[in-house]
């Protein structure tokens, strides 16, 4: 890292981490909202389905996570210390969201 601006590599690492954390959190939120607002039929009773909900959710949060990664990269280039601190808090929040989703909306 130089004295003025952080290295691009460090910004990329924080961007990738931010995108990953936001994708995990968004998956939990999306699954919780879908389970409460749009309950699906029991998969054990369905022989064939037109779509697999998991894959649609996974692709949706991958896209949204990429956008979150670009935002994290921009924040890391501006202030890497603040971005890293925010990422630490985001990991805690994402962990709590995915824990709730795993326990109550599997």
68 is a domain residue? no
C-beta separation of 87 from 30 below 8 A: no
Distance CA 4, CA 12 (A): 17
For residue 71, being part of any structural domain is answered with: no
Identify the domain containing residue 18 by its residue range: 7-41+80-106
- Does the pLDDT at position 3 exceed 60? no
CA atoms within 13 A on the CB side of 86: 18
Query: In sequence order, what are the residues at sequence separation of 6 or more whose Cβ sits closer than 8 angstroms to the Cβ of residue 35?
Result: 105
Q: Specify if 66 maps to a domain.
A: no
In a domain, 15, yes or no: yes
What's the pLDDT score for residue 4? 60
Q: What is the pLDDT of residue 50?
A: 62
Tens digit of each residue's pLDDT (9 = 90 or more) over 29-84 = 999 998 899 877 666 566 666 667 788 889 999 999 999 999 999 999 999 999 99
User: Which residue in 60, 82, 93 sits closest to 11, CA to CA?
Assistant: 82
Domain count, the chain: 1
**For 1-17, what is the mean pLDDT?**
80
């Amino acid at each position: 890292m130089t004295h003025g601006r952080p290295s691009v590599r460090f910004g990329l690492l924080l961007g990738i981490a931010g995108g990953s954390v936001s994708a995990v959190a968004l998956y939990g939120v999306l699954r919780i909202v879908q389970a409460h607002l749009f309950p699906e039929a029991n998969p054990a009773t369905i022989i064939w389905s037109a779509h697999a909900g998991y894959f649609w959710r996974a692709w949706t949060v991958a896209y949204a996570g990429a956008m979150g990664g670009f935002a994290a990269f921009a924040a890391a280039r501006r202030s890497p210390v603040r971005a890293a601190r925010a990422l630490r808090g985001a990991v805690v929040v994402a962990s709590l969201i995915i824990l709730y989703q795993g326990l109550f909306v599997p």
